[in-house]
Amino acid sequence: MENKIKAHNSILELVGNTPLVRLNRISEGFTGNFFAKVESFNPGHSSKDRIAMHIIEEAERKGILTEGSTIIETTSGNTGFSIAMVSIIKGYKCILAVSSKSSKDKIDMLRTMGAIVYVCPAHVSADDPRSYYEVAKRLHKETSGSIYINQYFNELNMEAHYKSTGPEIWEQTGGQITHLVACSGTGGTISGTAKYLKEQNPNVKVIGVDAFGSILKKYHETREFDSNEIYPYRIEGLGKNLIPGATDFDVIDKFIKVTDSESAHTAREIAKTEGIFAGYTSGAVTQALKQLNEQGEFGPKDNVVVIFPDHGSRYMSKVYSDQWMEDQGFFDTNTVSETQKVQYIKE
Ligand code: PMP
């Protein structure tokens, strides 16, 4: 009998092919056309599904991973979730070494997705045997047939975006893209996507978004590692205090920095104006658009693509909590009125 069932064989078939959505209201008054690649449409709700799939499938092709093998990474964030998801479907053990700074919610989320989680003390140096880097390395050594994803130094991270995000954006814009603006953490997303786009059209301009407190912008400009640039900041997932091997700085034309506070307010504004519930770095990249527009970066016919890396639900106790915003000092007398108060009906 003919098979009429239109189902996907597993959730993994839904990785990639995320929508490109025109920004209408948040970019009102800007010069140019603006579009967001909404990566929360991936089944693991972030762009990291792409690298988890690609790195794991490459290891399978090379015969490194076989049934029951172990996959190890050091992250409590989006990458950990994506690796856990892929591991469940493909039958691998997933071990994640995370910092004791990670919230209980994040650890519970990873455990729910089948990961074995090691919580390691946050306040020890990176080369201490108890640090999450060293714990992951030790487990990798001790577990034969295991792979260590090591996203900051794995070239396959960049390749995942070169093979998927880049071609998707080129096709979705009919080759009319003029600018790519994206956050840089490991740098895999921006450099892999940029490399593909520039191969199609070398005039595509690529702008990386960095945080105040991170070394990326200065390193791009001078190729010098300046530790004076480093100080704590709030946005998770963009910027870095080391030079990530997964970044190709040559395909990025320039970097722009954004603040924690403005990025947080802009993330909230995206929800209210575009109806897209996105993560903190989506706020950061849109904040960068505001600054670039003000600097006269875009022309009236330009087609600017930004990447929204993940979903807002991961930030309920942060950017989307009024208490957290207040605790950070992000509300001032001008902005506090933006939040709606909940109305309680008496019992
Ligand atoms: N936004 C978020 C929320 C992330 O988790 C990351 C990854 N660290 C990025 C942006 C940056 O992506 P990439 O690592 O590919 O540079």
Residue 70: phi and psi, rounded to 5, are -115, 140
Q: Give yes or no: residues 312 and 237 share one domain.
A: yes
In Å, how far are 16, 156, 199 from 40, measured between CA atoms? 10, 21, 27
CA atoms within 13 A on the CB side of 344: 2
Please identify, among 102, 124, 148, the residue that sits at the C-terminal boundary of a domain.
148
Q: Give a yes or no: residue 168 inside a domain.
A: yes
Q: Give yes or no: residues 250 and 313 share one domain.
A: yes
Q: Give yes or no: residues 176 and 294 share one domain.
A: yes
Q: Which atom of ligand 1 is nearest to the CA of 186?
A: 14
**Does ligand 1 come within 6 angstroms of the Cβ of 77?**
yes
**Does ligand 1 come within 6 angstroms of the Cβ of 44?**
no
Residues taking part in catalysis = 48
Q: Give a yes or no: residue 153 inside a domain.
A: no
**Does ligand 1 come within 6 angstroms of the Cβ of 285?**
no
Q: Give a yes or no: residue 333 inside a domain.
A: no
Pick from 38, 39, 48, 73 the residue to mutate for probing ligand 1's pocket: most ligand atoms within 8 Å of its CB. Answer: 48
Q: Give yes or no: residues 213 and 246 share one domain.
A: yes
Q: What does the block give as tokens for 321?
A: 């909590």
Q: Give a yes or no: residue 155 inside a domain.
A: no
Domain span at 175: 11-46+161-328
Distance between Cα 183 and ligand 1 center (Å): 7
3-state secondary structure the chain: CCCCCCCCCCHHHHCCCCCEEECCCCCCCCCCEEEEEEHHHCCCCECHHHHHHHHHHHHHHCCCCCCCCEEEECCCCHHHHHHHHHHHHHCCEEEEEEECCCCHHHHHHHHHCCCEEEEECCCCCCCCCCCHHHHHHHHHHHCCCCEECCCCCCHHHHHHHHHCHHHHHHHHCCCCCCEEEEECCCCHHHHHHHHHHHHHCCCCEEEEEEECCCCHHHHHHHCCCCHHHCCCCCCCCCCCCCCCCCCCHHHCCEEEEECHHHHHHHHHHHHHHHCCCECHHHHHHHHHHHHHHHCCCCCCCCEEEEEECEEHHHHCCCCCCHHHHHHCCCCCCCCHHHCCCCCCCCC
Q: Give yes or no: residues 143 and 208 share one domain.
A: no
User: What residue owns the CA closest to ligand 1's atom 2?
Assistant: 237
Q: Give yes or no: residues 208 and 251 share one domain.
A: yes
Q: Give a yes or no: residue 154 inside a domain.
A: no
Q: Which atom of ligand 1 is nearest to the CA of 314?
A: 3
Q: Give a yes or no: residue 42 inside a domain.
A: yes
Q: Give yes or no: residues 40 and 67 share one domain.
A: no
Q: In this structure, what CATH number is given to the domain that contains residue 285?
A: 3.40.50.1100
Q: Give yes or no: residues 305 and 217 share one domain.
A: yes
Q: Give yes or no: residues 323 and 184 share one domain.
A: yes
**Does ligand 1 come within 6 angstroms of the Cβ of 309?**
yes
Q: Give a yes or no: residue 335 inside a domain.
A: no
Domain count, the chain: 2
Pick from 47, 51, 252, 307 the residue to mutate for probing ligand 1's pocket: most ligand atoms within 8 Å of its CB. Answer: 47
Q: Give a yes or no: residue 345 inside a domain.
A: no
Q: Give yes or no: residues 195 and 291 share one domain.
A: yes
Q: Give yes or no: residues 204 and 309 share one domain.
A: yes
Per-residue pLDDT of the chain in tens (347 residues, 90 and over written 9) = 678 999 999 999 999 999 999 999 999 999 999 999 999 999 999 999 999 999 999 999 999 998 899 999 998 789 999 999 999 999 999 999 998 878 888 899 999 999 999 999 988 887 899 999 899 999 999 998 899 999 999 999 999 999 999 999 999 999 999 999 999 999 999 999 999 999 999 999 999 999 999 999 999 999 999 999 999 899 988 988 889 999 999 999 999 999 999 999 999 999 999 999 999 999 999 999 999 999 999 999 999 999 999 999 999 999 999 999 999 999 975 555 556 678 889 88
**Does ligand 1 come within 6 angstroms of the Cβ of 214?**
no
- Of the candidates 308, 316, 253, which has an alpha carbon nearest to the alpha carbon of residue 284? 308
Q: Give yes or no: residues 180 and 292 share one domain.
A: yes
**Does ligand 1 come within 6 angstroms of the Cβ of 208?**
no
